[in-house]
Chain A
């Protein structure tokens, strides 16, 4: 493995380990309560959930049937919490690529290696892709295993489709953070931009759908290209996922160009 890439992975290592454990623990805890939910339909069934206000249900992706495996998995893992956890992790990794080493001063020495800046940035980006892939793969296996063990009766291919979407969404947001960090050298800007885009995008894609004033914003929300196709229910929304991939590529390219032309550490 090239030195720069393995160094990137080493820089990301502790973040990756920490978040893998954290996300796994979270998923493990919530998915293991599924059997008890199935046994109490009067508390969690469609009739009970209908009592929640409409906007609240929109925000949680409908919450139509908590007692079916698909509905439970969607609401607990794939609607909001799973994507947000992975997006947070991706943002931290994206910051570790450029902005953090720039802020703590360690980037200067790396820049004075006989390595083109563009290659350095691509190596950091490749580290982000690989790191997220590892965490996505591990958490996929966990969800898949727990879904099977808990008798949720959701096809593995659907879980794979949902998990792929979460991975692509998180990668897109992480790359956005990386690009802002590469252009400005500031962690705070990167985190703020990703925060606004992720939270705003989620709200626009859920509650916003029924609010005419903002519903047209849907196409700009990264969540649109994950949630709209309902991967857990419908399988891979190929075109939507390609949009996420393309956006990621464009952001990575922007990061390369922006980083290549500016002063570092000022």
Chain B
């Protein structure tokens, strides 16, 4: 029927809210069957991109196709499941009634499918929507996004408000969707939240896409903060000049540094002493920005502050 390898294709996609820039010149491709993590700090333009793809807002300029067609065509949304970033559920209606309405408007979803998802996410559907807690709203949002088994899932900050157990369950659901060959776009502030489920991530900042990376490649590049505490003071020289080690601080029996790439040499150096405690923080997104995608000055400024001369 239609030859399609890209689920989303945008070209020069730009959105200004009056004078305010929401998104500028986005060239994005999301491939069939992949899980695409869309990362960026607050106000970067993630929600703007997603609302454009769903035709909730209209581009200032640029071009896009979603599942091969212009998103102005309402029918394409039948093949999409969407979880809004600022999910609003209100009113006296029960969650089950609301889900039935959404299901009916989508041409019908088996009752068992909704029940199964509710069971899986441990959601109580008999609660009135205005009375749902944040996490429970998010569960209803996830149920309605997944229930009709869409070809393409668009999830704006899906894990916000979910407790760690449910985050795991959610990631499992995403993996199942991928296994079934369907496509997912999900946004987040932190790499840690999406890296275990994503194939590729795009990083957006200040309305511009600054990088698209393979998750595996990104993790290689990621800088993480590491701390070792030993049972006795250690000499600084042993940790200096190790591959990937930067911002080294040795204070008595503790060593703090950032590690870039493989931590092997650092671990081996540490292993020569008695390690009583070790902390390795997940690499944070900001760190990756600062290290690899411009803003060199900020990085140097920060390094200068953190590294005692």
Within 8 A of B (CB), among A100-125: 104-106, 108-109, 111-117
Q: Which of B102-110, B112-120, B280-288 lies at the interface with chain A?
A: B102-110
- Say whether A266 contacts B90, CB under 8 Å: no
Contact call B101/A7, Cβ cutoff below 8 A: yes
19 A-B residue pairs with Cβ-Cβ distance under 8 Å, sorted by A, are A3-B104, A7-B101, A10-B93, A10-B97, A10-B101, A105-B88, A105-B90, A108-B51, A108-B56, A109-B84, A109-B102, A111-B54, A111-B56, A112-B54, A112-B56, A114-B106, A115-B105, A264-B56, A266-B17
Complex CA gap A117/B74 in Å reads: 8
| Residues of B close to A117: CB separation below 8 A | 74
A218 shortest CB reach to chain B, Å? 40
Chain B residues with CB under 8 Å of A262's CB are 58
Interface centre among B55, B87, B101 (most CB of A within 10 A): B101
Q: Are B88 and A114 in contact (CB under 8 A)?
A: no
In the bound complex, residues from chain A placing their C-beta under 8 Å from that of B89 are 106
Check: B82 CB closer than 8 A to any chain A CB. Answer: yes
Q: Are B86 and A114 in contact (CB under 8 A)?
A: no
Number of interface residues of A (CB under 8 A): 25
Q: With A108-B56, A263-B58, A264-B56 in contact, is A113–B106 under 8 Å at CB?
A: yes
CB–CB A265/B105 < 8 A: no
- Report which residue of B88, B93, B144 has the largest number of chain A beta carbons within 10 angstroms of its beta carbon: B88
Q: How far, in angstroms, from A24 to B54 measured CA to CA in the complex?
A: 44
Contact A113 B102 (CB under 8 A): yes
Q: Is B304 among interface residues, defined by CB-CB distance under 8 A? A: no
Q: Which residues of B contact A261 (CB under 8 A)?
A: 58
Does B252 belong to the interface (CB within 8 Å)? no
Q: State the Cβ distance, B21 to closest chain A Cβ, in Å.
A: 14
Please determine whether B80 and A3 come into contact, CB atoms closer than 8 angstroms: no
Q: Does B268 have its Cβ within 8 Å of any Cβ on chain A?
A: no
**Interface residue tally of chain B, by bracket?**
20 to 34
Extra inter-chain contacts (6) besides given A114-B79, A264-B56, A265-B56, CB under 8 Å: A106-B90, A109-B102, A112-B56, A116-B74, A262-B58, A263-B58
Contact B101 A14 (CB under 8 A): no
Interface residue? B178 (CB, 8 A): no
A104 & B90 in contact (Cβ 8 Å cutoff)? yes
Q: Which chain A residue has the least Cβ–Cβ distance from B100?
A: A3
A4 at the interface (CB under 8 A from B): yes
User: Within the assembled complex, what's the spacing in Å between the Cα atoms of A217 and B43?
Assistant: 49
- B91: Cβ under 8 A from any A Cβ: yes
State the CA gap A204–B91 with chains docked (Å): 39
- Residue-wise interface mask of B (119-143) relative to A, using a CB-CB cutoff of 8 A (1 in contact, 0 not): 0000000000000000000000000
B57 at the interface (CB under 8 A from A): yes
User: A11 to B91, Cβ gap below 8 A?
Assistant: yes
Q: Mark contacts of A141-173 with chain B using CB atoms, 8 A cut-off: 1 yes-contact digit, 0 otherwise.
A: 000000000000000000000000000000000
Which 4 residue pairs spanning A and B have beta carbons closest together?
A105-B88, A114-B78, A3-B104, A263-B57
> Mask for B55-84, Cβ within 8 A of A = 1, else 0?
111100000000000000011111110101
Contacts of A111 in B (CB 8 A): 54-56
Write out the residue numbers on chain A whose beta carbons fall within 8 Å of the beta carbon of B75: 114
User: Is A266 in contact with B87, judged by CB distance below 8 angstroms?
Assistant: no
Residues of A within 8 A of B55 (CB): 111
Evaluate contact between B77 and A113: CB separation under 8 angstroms: yes
The chain B residue sitting closest to A104, CB to CB, is B90
Chain A, 188-202, CB within 8 A of any chain B CB: none
- B105 & A113 in contact (Cβ 8 Å cutoff): yes
* Set of chain B residues within 8 Å of A14, measured between Cβ atoms: 92
